[in-house]
Structure 1
Amino acid sequence: MFEISEIKGMIFDCYGTLIDIDTDENDYYTYDTVSKWLKYKGVKIDPDSLKSEYNSKIRDKMEASKEQHPDIRVEEIFADICGENAIWKSDTMYLGIETSKVFRSASLRRLHPFRESIAILNKYDNVPKCLVSNGQRVFSEKELRFLGLYEFFDHVIFSSDLRYKKPDPRIFKIALDRLNLKPGEVLSIGDTVENDIIAPQEMGMQAMHIHDAWRALLD
């Protein structure tokens, strides 16, 4: 068992670790809401077609990637959809960004921080921290800022920035480089065993499941 006094840096996962979230990206309502919003942006696409195109474009991007654990940028997916279904000219990249936010808000069912995780962040405020998330910066950063969590971190890394995601060790190597620390000096905290426990441990880091961290670090 490690001594917390030996830890010089922390890496945190986001969803399921800091934020309790529930979304439904399969619900007809999600795509119906986005489809209606797009009418006012000059994009004509019905909810069923929007859902089909969204899923097929993500699948195609993933299959075309050479990464073992690929990720995409959802704003690029929506930019392509908007460009292909526009009835008047617009800035499709900007529209893709805005559509991503509408899509997220339409799919959102629950969003709030775990109070125990906030307590850890406050208790170890003097320890450098890096957030490493398999998330989309286009809306995940907004959620972190809205919940007052973003400013706890010295560095924030989203898989969409890199186009590959955890458990790829490169994402953790970037975090270590930004923290300027050795693996043995860093504690990884998360809720997914493969991504947040095993992968960091294989690199020489300490690692804890978030539920264990609540008990061990808040005593």
Structure 2
Amino acid sequence: MSRRRPRVEGVLFDCYGTLIDIMTDEDDIRTYQCLSRWLIYQGVRITPRSLRAGYLRRVQEAAELTGERYPEVQVEEVFAGICAEHSAWEIDVGQLGAEAARAFRAASLRRLGVIEKSRRLLDLFGTRKLGVVSNGQRVFSEQELRVLNLYDRLNFVIFSSDFGYQKPDPRIYTAALGRMNLLPENVLFIGDNRENDVTMPRRLGMQALHVEDAWRRYGA
């Protein structure tokens, strides 16, 4: 006799590749050319190649400083450091760091949209508690969810930049379960990365499906 699957009272989604279809290019020198030109008008003078090298170096250094197995950084702090080092006049480092992070995202963006099959999953589960757990940067990822009319459909959104560590660190899932105030067995996790979104959630007692399996199971 097969065991009955527990009732789904809440659903956690991954963000990119699950709800949002996105393509960015953070290696393309044109990304840094665009950002370098934008920074001129903010009082920061740095060449595109120096900007790329400085960004990659600072991200690596910040990640190492966390001491985490799956480290995460806050890119606005990375850009704040770059802006402070290369400022031509007095600037508001904190504010400019956040603005530069968003400008960087815009410069790197090649494609952005909603995955319609997953939008239909949101419709299907609309009466349940809904959340997002994403390896993402709140400084611009929240903006993307908002502009695509997804943010207000969710009860909460957790980004790895809030914590300093990423999935599959168990703590990020535990934080999400705490926000839902549900037993793990009554929460379904849906995502496109098998280790992050299927294996680890199941290990923690949740139900979990690869997003393509979820589309098939629920007829999206």
TM-score, length basis structure 2: 0.97
> Structure 2: how far apart are the matches of 1:99 and 1:3?
51
Match of 1:105 in 2: 106
Match of 2:16 in 1: 15
SS at match of 1:142: helix
The reply to whether residue 60 of structure 1 matches residue 76 of structure 2 is no
> Structure 2: how far apart are the matches of 1:108 and 1:210?
23
Shift of 1:218: 2.3
Matched letter for residue 50 of structure 2: S
Matched letter for residue 198 of structure 1: T
SS at match of 2:73: coil
Could you list the per-position Cα deviations for residues 92-124 of structure 1 after superposition, in whole angstroms to 9, with x for gaps in the alignment? 110000001110000000001110000010111
Match of 2:43 in 1: 42
SS at match of 2:136: coil
Mind listing any 5+ residue stretches in structure 1 that lack a counterpart? none
> Structure 1: how far apart are the matches of 2:104 and 2:50?
15
> Structure 1: how far apart are the matches of 2:57 and 2:81?
12
8 Å contact from structure 1 (residues 186, 206) kept in 2: yes
SS at match of 1:188: strand
| Number of residue equivalences | 219
8 Å contact from structure 1 (residues 11, 186) kept in 2: yes
Q: Return structure 1 stretches of 4+ with deviation > 4 angstroms.
A: 1-5
Shift of 1:138: 0.3
> Structure 2: how far apart are the matches of 1:182 and 1:123?
21
Could you list the per-position Cα deviations for residues 147-167 of structure 1 after superposition, in whole angstroms to 9, with x for gaps in the alignment? 011111101100000111100
SS at match of 1:6: coil
Shift of 1:5: 7.4
CA RMSD of aligned residues (A): 1.4
The farther-off stretch of 102-111 and 2-11 is: 2-11
> Structure 2: how far apart are the matches of 1:183 and 1:170?
13
Q: How does 1:61-140 map to 2 (within 5 A)?
A: 61-140=62-141
Shift of 1:65: 1.6
Shift of 1:2: 8.4
Q: How does 1:172-191 map to 2 (within 5 A)?
A: 172-191=173-192
Could you list the per-position Cα deviations for residues 187-218 of structure 1 after superposition, in whole angstroms to 9, with x for gaps in the alignment? 00000011001110110111000001011112
Match of 1:157 in 2: 158
8 Å contact from structure 1 (residues 24, 109) kept in 2: yes
TM-score, length basis structure 1: 0.97
Q: How does 1:199-214 map to 2 (within 5 A)?
A: 199-214=200-215
Matched letter for residue 141 of structure 1: E
SS at match of 1:148: coil
Match of 2:32 in 1: 31
8 Å contact from structure 1 (residues 2, 206) kept in 2: no
Matched letter for residue 114 of structure 1: I
Percentage identity across paired residues of the two chains = 49
